[in-house]
Amino acid sequence: MPKLENHNGNLYTNKSTVAVTKNSNKQSSIQIPKIKESPARIPVLSFFTGGGLLDLGFMNAGFDIIWRNEFNPAFARGFEHAMSVHTGCDSHKINNTESIVRLTDLKIIKEAFGDEPIPVTFGIIGGPPCTDFSVAGKNHGGDGINGKLAGIYVSLILKLKPAFFVLENVKGLFDTRKHKKFLDELVQALEEVYFTDWKVLNALDYGVPQNRERGFLVGFRRDWLENNTNFAATNFSSQVKSREEWFPWPKPKYVIPKETYQWPSATKYGEMPQKPVDIPEDLMIGTYICNPDINLSLLPNGKDQFRAKSKKFLEIMEGDDTRKSFKRLHRWRFSPTAAYGNNEVHLHPSLPRRLSVREVMKIQSVPDTYELPSTISLTHKYKMIGNGVPVKLAEVIAGSFMQVLNKTFTFSSKPLTIEHQVALFKEATCEAPKAHELASGQIPHNGRPEMQISAVKSSSP
């Protein structure tokens, strides 16, 4: 892991403010309206942009992505073409194509803000390459070639000191023992400047027809919270540690749908499985890619697909998605994680072929007006879409940031749980409190006023 620098200097000397506006065009459907540029939108810098799916979610929630970095030249060309078609304007460019290893904070500031004062409120978003943290990938962790990029990304956050940030990655970084130590090191470095939180979310819970678990590490700069919210007026920060969920995470549309509904079993290829009546339409891929009223081949990238050559395309049962590759999707179920690298192949439920690029876009909740150019390979197209955060999930995450920025979310002083009392007491005295002290609330605070704790009637927060 690269050394994480601690920068306590304040780059933000100007007193100008950026107004926050809600996106009046926000819709619950997959279709994303064309984005109207507005100088009032909160500026955001995007790292590891790729296909820009995370960008699309933040744009749709009301943010203005003013600077982007993408090292892969094919991804950069694909992104610029797609965004030009989607938005109807050519202003969405990849501003920097250097490796993040060679980027400096001063260069980024110059490219993003020019000679203008650095805004008081701006954000950074990005998802460092995940193969070193993926169970299905190389699993080298923070010492891997790609894993080190997460540490460099955090170092740049600490240098640039945005008001807020998000680091997105695979579930393995957040819940695998091998990688958890690396995550803890990143969080510890960030906590010197930021109040952080992280959580693993499943896109399926938010109406995306895909079982895709991704972790999000988020943070707000402590001094920004103190100056712009009621954060300083509460004892919130002394009560809640970074990993105890303070961020207003988006409320799931469905509660654990993977286990709640009776999903149909695999059926012989070529048969017509009965459609369940109790499963929501937006959770079944057939709603998007098996609808006889919609000819997907007429949409952008609708005919982009590899030619079917293997006999397996005619033999594998519909819904047999347990194998590592050649997984045939079931039209009335959700898709496995859309990941098309490492020779993983997903087959159409009712046709003897792989999914088309447009069908993958549908599963990733990408708008129909998003088009990848013919000048990049099919492999790059599949990877650009498969590597991204589903647009629906990205949008609700961005909406949670807007709650804090718009001050529609407020920090509250909550009674401490017994567990909190014990943790704080140990921090203050290096020893555990006695049972009678917990019961009476008379826990000595070792001379530290912030450790004074009142009695708690319940263990609920």
Among all residues, which ones are annotated catalytic? Answer: 130
Nearest CA to 244 out of 275, 300, 199 is that of 199
Q: Which residue has the tokens 């803000």?
A: 113
* Cα-based angle 59, 64, 69 (whole degrees, multiple of 5): 95
- Cα 175 to the center of its chain, rounded Å: 16
Length of the chain: 461
Q: Which of 249, 151, 231 is nearest to 194 (CA)?
A: 231
CA atoms of 346 and 382, how far apart (whole Å)? 11
- Residues 110 and 398 sit within 8 Å (Cβ to Cβ): no
Please give the helix or strand (H or E) that residue 168 lies within, else none: strand 164-170
Locate tokens 């609920």: which residue?
460
DSSP-derived secondary structure for 162-194 = -SEEEEEEEHHHHH-HHHHHHHHHHHHHHTTTE
Q: 18-21: long-range contacts at Cβ-Cβ below 8 A with a sequence spacing of 24 or more? A: 18/42, 18/43, 18/119, 18/120, 18/121, 18/122, 20/62, 20/121, 20/402, 20/405, 20/406, 21/62
Radius of gyration of the chain measured on its C-alpha atoms: 24
The residue whose two tokens read 């940030």 is 165
**Region of 180 on the Ramachandran plot (φ > 0 left; ψ -120 to 50 alpha; else beta):** alpha
Q: Helix, strand, coil: what percent of the chain each, to 5? A: 35, 10, 55
First to last CA, the chain: 36
DSSP one-letter code for 29: S
